Amino acid sequence: MTYEGVLAKMQTEFGNPIQYYLVFENSFLNVNQLLHKEIEITFQGYQCLNCNKKKKIFRQGFCYDCFYSSPAVGDWIMRPELSTAHLGIADRDLEYETRVQLQPHVVYLASSSEVKVGVTRKTQVPTRWIDQGAEQAIAIVEVPNRYLAGITEVALKNHFSDKTNWRKMLTNDIVSIDLLAEKLKIERLLPQEVQEYFHLDKNDLYEMHYPVAAYPKKINSLSLDKTPNYVGKLMGIKGQYLLFEDGTVFNIRGSEGYIVSINV
């Protein structure tokens, strides 16, 4: 059976284990069902996720022009503290930025290769944590806009990492830590304007269980630009990565906007 379409990050469903779906224009695929099976991935071309033109992908599924013009990839996405919609100030498109920035955001701690601090829109919980391959995660504060979440993250970056080491995450080289105990230490580190949002009565600790039959010991990242055709036996899915028996890992999110055919 062959599936063909433009890659976008896998959709997920929280469960034990987490369910993963590849969604194409005319079909979708529950990737969990491919575990222990051989699959073939073939590169067919590019299609920008924003303008749909068949242009080479520059970053995050966007062509060069879209990456530098679309409000969906402004600097405040990666650096929430640069958000300015709460002041009525535009970066690229105030209407878009108001809609995305002025909604509840969560600052969280997540454990994987280390404990990291991060920011997400509340609607993206627990999707964001699954996409990062976190083992466990806990919300620290829920704030009404992206800016407040951003300055909280900046304050906590002095005490926690803000990145996951993806090699360690994919080889299951992970830390075991009590995130609730870490959260208790954090209140005094929060910026003044955020302290009122710190509550100890909301302590839902999320645990993520990924569909992985065997973790690789050494990994090689698959790039469709260099290797346009790949065949391998799928042994797991974690974060947005497919893990194969030969140690190859394929970052679906890193290949957004690539048109592929998948033969199963």
Residues that bind Zn ion (CB under 5 A): 48, 50-51, 63, 66
- Residue 166's φ and ψ, nearest 5 degrees, are -65, -30
Q: Write down the least CB distance from residue 84 to Zn ion, Å.
A: 25
Distance between CA 77 and CA 100 in Å, rounded?
Answer: 10
- Residue 23's φ and ψ, nearest 5 degrees, are -115, 120
**CB 247, CB 16: distance < 8 Å:** no
Tell me the residue type at 61. Answer: G
Of 102 and 259, which CB lies nearer to Zn ion in the complex structure?
A: 259
Q: What is the DSSP letter of 185?
A: T
Q: Write down the least CB distance from residue 9 to Zn ion, Å.
A: 17
Q: Write down the least CB distance from residue 70 to Zn ion, Å.
A: 8
Q: Where are the alpha helices (DSSP H) in 111-238?
A: 127-132, 146-156, 166-170, 179-184
> Measured between alpha carbons, how far is residue 30 from residues 24, 84, 114 in Å?
12, 39, 30
Of 66 and 143, which CB lies nearer to Zn ion in the complex structure?
A: 66
- Residue 11's φ and ψ, nearest 5 degrees, are -80, 150
Of 51 and 212, which CB lies nearer to Zn ion in the complex structure?
A: 51
Of 28 and 64, which CB lies nearer to Zn ion in the complex structure?
A: 64
Q: What is the DSSP letter of 158?
A: T
Of 51 and 264, which CB lies nearer to Zn ion in the complex structure?
A: 51
Q: Write down the least CB distance from residue 56 to Zn ion, Å.
A: 10
Q: Write down the least CB distance from residue 256 to Zn ion, Å.
A: 12
